[in-house]
Amino acid sequence: MRIRRTLPPAAAPLRLRDLWSGFKGFFTGDRYLGRLEDGIREYFGARHVWFASSGKAALYLILRSLRSLRPGRSEVLIPAYTCFSVPSAIVRAGLKVALCDIDASSLDFDGALLKKSINANTLCVMPNHLFGIPSGMEGIMDLCRDRGVFVLEDAAQAMGGMRDGKMLGTIGDVGFFSLGRGKPVTCGSGGIIVTNSDVMARAIEEEFLRLSSPGKGEDVREYIKAVMMSLFVHPSLYWIPAVLPFLKLGRTFFDSQFPVTRLSPVKAGLGLDWEKRLERSMNVRRQRASALCRSLGVAGWVDGASPVPYLRLPVIVGSRDLKKNICTAAAKKGLGITGMYPSAINEVPEIAGQFSGRQFPGARLVAERLIAVPVHEFVSERDQEEMVRLLSAGQCAAMVCPTLPVPGFSTEGKAC
């Protein structure tokens, strides 16, 4: 065990005032939930808002609602590279996971394949705005509109992001955000559902009314977890949870037995100052991403902030071995650079059988070669200098930073 300053891969700090608001949530009943709902509705321009115990609980509720609106359809079409919680929620909702390969230069659906992947059994298509990079929503909406297919935005990593002047999570028929640890804003855990569709709102409300609220004992446990997280997320202490294997930090799991409840008033209290925290976090992440890309010589980057508030800066390196070497060296230096999801979704053991014989080369390439670089507010200038030295050492020409179609940028990956 080595005691040293260690960056968390992602971090959304909770400050003393947030913890105090969370503590007051034990006594304020639903008042904090009401304030949180009003704030979300105003910020996102959403007519209908609900809160659940986690992002995947929010996704589960949406899927159950969509299923009731299209009872003859059962497939949820998702990118072949995404968080394992997504297929977990699909399976729990009693639906079938369907996959479309991705374009490694954007981490979005491969557009040509997406058109072929939608069929008469497709209930919804689910773009995921991975790392906060907006998916090509216009094309996806056009494909789905005439087919009676819903568009469900997974904005778990993209809260506050925009595309063409529209808030991510509000462009499709329905969207959700995550308030989990390491997301743009955290309450320890939690999920938010937003929609402007009255028809969809009635279906979601019907499912939501069946949910129970967590008990006081669970509230206490979650509050203690939030306090511990706020303490140990700091780089001076993060080395402690980072070396404890039973915490399984940074690992993604397929688990279709997760709890689904309403968000508690305690967590609403923890998230009461969410808007200021979100804006501060996005500004920091834009600046950090820009500084890293300029230092790495990424073509097209100029002075000023990144147009994307990356949750973590994704970089695709030249080989699986290079990825392993970079992550190993970063761990020794406490830089927080890690891989992301360990495999494409078709290789998740619990559901791999239904994709036997099918190949998703874009997703597999990304799983094997993508690293994620921290850009949160605990990253110092010295940390960034160390990161640049590590990423540049001998292999710079083999790296690509996935981007998106935004003003002033090409849709191609940027060679470092």
Domain boundaries along the sequence of the chain: 16-208, 274-415
For residue 410, what pLDDT band results from cuts at 50, 70 and 90?
very low
Reply yes or no on whether the pLDDT at 407 is more than 90: no
For 368, other C-beta atoms within 10 Å of its C-beta total: 18
Helix axis angle, 274-296 relative to 31-44, nearest 10°? 50
First to last CA, the chain: 34
Choose the weakest-confidence range: 46-55, 196-205, 310-319, 365-374.
Answer: 310-319
CATH number of 16-208: 3.40.640.10
Q: Hey, which residues does 174 pair with through a beta bridge? A: 152
Q: Mean pLDDT throughout 49-70?
A: 97
pLDDT at res. 247: 62
Q: What are phi and psi of 191, to 5 degrees?
A: -145, 150
16-208 against 274-415: fold identical: no
What pLDDT is stored for residue 76 in this prediction? 98
CA atoms of 194 and 188, how far apart (whole Å): 20
Architecture of domain 274-415 in CATH?
Answer: Alpha-Beta Complex (3.90)
Fill in the amino acid letter for 76: V
pLDDT of residue 252: 83
Q: Which region among 14-23, 71-80, 291-300, 324-333 has the lowest average model confidence (pLDDT)?
A: 291-300
| Residue 270 and residue 18 in contact, taking contact as beta carbons nearer than 8 Å | yes
DSSP-derived letter for residue 104 is T
Confidence grade of residue 295 (pLDDT, cut at 50, 70, 90): confident
Quick: pLDDT tens for 256-284.
999 999 999 999 999 999 999 999 999 99
The conformation of residue 353, written as its DSSP 8-state character, comes to G
Give the model confidence (pLDDT) of 131-168 as tens digits.
999 999 999 999 999 899 999 999 999 999 999 899 99
User: Which has more pLDDT, 114 or 404?
Assistant: 114
pLDDT for the residue 58? 98
Confidence band of 396 (pLDDT split at 50, 70, 90) = very low
The whole-number pLDDT of residue 413 equals 37
Q: Residue 30: pLDDT band by 50, 70, 90 thresholds?
A: confident
- If pLDDT is split at 50, 70 and 90, which confidence band does 286 have? very high
What's the mean pLDDT in 47-74?
97
